[in-house]
Structure 1
Amino acid sequence: MSSLLVLALLGVTFMLPGRQALLCNWGTYKAVHNVSELPLQWTVKLQKECDRGWGCHDSVMLIENGPSALLVLSPGSLQCAHCLSTGRCPEDATVKVCPKGTTHCYKGELLVTGENILTRLQVQGCMSQPGCNLLNGTQDIGPVMVKESCDSRRRQALFCQFGRYKEVHNISELHLQWTVKSQKECDRGWGCHDSLMLIRNGEKGPGMQSPTFSPYWDIGPVMVKESCDSRRTLICHKGISFHMTGNLTYTPVDWTSDFTKTCDAGQLCQETMLLIDVGLKSLLLWTKGCSQGEAPDSQTTSMHAGPIGVLVASYTHFCSSDLCNGASSSSILLKSLPRPAAPAPGDLHCSSCVQLTSGSCSDYSPTIVCPKGTTHCYNGNIHIQGGGLTTPVAVAGCVAQPSTSLLNHSKNIGIFSVHEDGLFPVPPTGAAPATFLTQVMGLGLALALWCGGLCLFG
């Protein structure tokens, strides 16, 4: 850390030892010359007395372009703007000559946070090294955390007071005082806000004394929705999450939605997970929100395919209380999956693929050795819609039954409506029966006509 800036930050000043001020040559030279004229000699005729403790320096810049060269000479002392402010440093901050040993000017911002501490420091001064490293990588000083930024175009994220208060009071108890004890770091570019809504009804609130003109209001970032339906209006977690990686049948995924939604009267809260595993890769689709038409307070885990070969499983939850759809880990599904002993490798080889795509799995998908007990290869598409999600999923892998449906022809999984386009399963290695070849040729002709010749067969 620069000793000068450390002293400034700590609020400590002292006089340097009684050392005489240096006398430095002072001046600049700039001219374009032919390369044949180099080297040049130049004598400075001016001198300047520096402040005590400050050193002399020379700067030379040579830019060569073919037969010509630009030469810039600047003997003298490095000068940098100096500023330490909890606000913004002025554009015309005081410029001072830097001491001996410093080579670069520093301009940055320090965010200092801790218990009852939240301070932004704008810092400008002299440094002995380039870059944005005023604190030599230090981020924690006791209970105080320090963040550094030198990109003037990207403002550091704001810390805002964070909290909510909701209560019914007698009018006689107003005015109220409330102190927020939590803070939250916002995304870059976001600001802080305060929102206050007071609804009075006689001597107590909430309620309304005046007629309303719109079923929706916006009060700052708060949306208010009105309903005179006698059925209860729920507040539910809302969001969509998907994860595609290996081994999601054993490794749980953690997810908490930051958003909520006020449902229409009579609707329920829901959350639906759909897990597809093909061995090398897994896909987890997860949605939360509002739903209607389901029995309240139902919680179901289903196994649609597997567990040997391609595995498809789901978890659905419909409930009738505020924010009841709050599962934060896929372990709620994984703990219900059967765990058979690892089967021995079989003789069948199949492509292995799961991906979000409008086509089937590629011919270049990796090939795996299927586990013993599987007899056919599957390659098809599952079209999923609902809960704010609409996507096709291409699936290929080993299956135990010669079926074109991984989902046993299910049409609904929780909030999802599902439609499956399963290609005919590939039989074990060897010659295919004539009836199978006839089916494949007929399906290929039908799909070619339907897709305009663009369908791919895996």
Structure 2
Amino acid sequence: MGTRAVQCLLFLLLLGAPFLASVQNLKCHKGVSTSIEKDPSSVFNWTTEEAESCESGSFCQESLLMVKAGTKTAVLATKGCTSDGTQAVTYVQHSPPPGIITVSYTSYCDDSFCNNRKDLQELWRPEETQEASRAPNTSGVPLYCPTCVALGTCLTAPSLLCPNDTIQCYEGKLQISGGGIDSVLEIKGCTSVTGCGLMAGFFTIGPMWVKEVCPHQSLPQPRKVENGATWLPVSVWRLGLLLLLLLQ
């Protein structure tokens, strides 16, 4: 082969080097975790030793859903490759305290092993959420709600006094699929949101699809007074009074 031909071939190889580097697969941490924790900020470990190679045009992702009811918090987390979305970091507090707290976090990045968050220290702030949840109800007509969060079905749901500014008892399930997760969360408790709106209209968290199902529409509940009697809504009280007047 002549000198010019060798130079030409070398030039073509040099031109192709960036292209070859660009089509090399992105590598991402891979892992799935679903658990119920008492203190996820100090206990939950989001590291994983698994890895996967992504297709061209993909991102590394790490996505998280946390739901707190009473003293327990459900944590659903996933890491891996994703072909949908854009490079961004998203943090949403879907249902704020007092009562049930729902938080989600998603990070999409395009460097190998960039989905490397190890814990929840910056994402879950118990000192902020717990203080609001512990505030006593001072309205004089306390609200009590069955309270639990569980993967699958709650085995027990003790009736707990709701904090001030909660407006109803919530009862529903979150069906979560995608990102290697296929789980159902049953959730009961006091809430400051109305109706079946725990997720505030959000249905995707990274690769996870969330469907909220409330078998019984959550409504403001009768409140128990201290002597154990039941406080009825004004409209019901007026109806009873009207019936008494008609019977006289």
Smaller-chain TM-score range?
0.7 to 0.9
CA contact (8 A) 1:307 1:338 kept: no
Find the counterpart in structure 1 of residue 76 from structure 2: 285
Matched, 1:325 2:115: yes
Give the alignment of 1:356-435 within 5 angstroms: 356-357=151-152, 361=154, 364-422=156-214, 423-429=216-222, 430-431=231-232
Contact 2:95 2:193 in 1 (8 A): no
> 1:244: how far off?
0.9
Q: Distance in 2 between matches of 1:268 and 1:382?
A: 26
Matches for 1:9-88 after TM superposition, within 5 Å: none
How high is the sequence identity, in percent, across the aligned residues? 30
C-alpha separation between the residues in 1 aligned to 2:91 and 2:52?
25
Relative to structure 1, the CA distance from residue 229 to residue 336 in structure 2 (aligned partners, 3 Å threshold; closer, same or farther) is farther
* Cross-structure match for 2:244: none
- 1:365-419 deviations in Å (ceiling 9; x for gaps): 1111111110100000101011111111111111113221200121111221111
Q: Distance in 2 between matches of 1:340 and 1:382?
A: 23
| TM-fit CA distance, 1:301 | 1.3
TM-score normalised over the length of structure 1: 0.41
| Equivalent position amino acid for 2:73 in 1 | S
Q: Answer 1 or 2: which has greater helix percent.
A: 2
Report whether the alignment pairs 1:314 with 2:104. yes
Structure 1 residues 350 and 254, CA, compared in 2 at 3 Å: closer, same or farther? same
CA distance in 1, matches of 2:99, 2:79: 29
2:146 matches 1:351: yes
Give how far 1:243 is off.
2.5
Query: 1:319-358 deviations in whole A, cap 9, x for unaligned?
Result: 001000011111131259955744532211111111111x
Which of 55, 76, 93 matches 1:303?
A: 93
Q: Which runs of 5+ in 2 are unaligned?
A: 1-9, 11-19, 223-230, 237-248
Aligned to 1:265: 56
Q: Is the radius of gyration larger for structure 1 or structure 2?
A: 1
Deviations 1:241-274 (A, max 9, x none): 12212233x5352231010000111111000111
**Partner amino acid for 2:32?**
I
Contact 2:177 2:183 (8 Å CA) reproduced: yes
Task: Return the alpha-carbon distance in structure 2 between the equivalents of residues 337 and 245 of structure 1.
Answer: 16
Distance 1:391 1:339 in 2: 25
- What's the C-alpha RMSD, in Å, of the aligned pairs? 2.5
The alpha-carbon deviation at position 424 of structure 1 amounts to 1.2
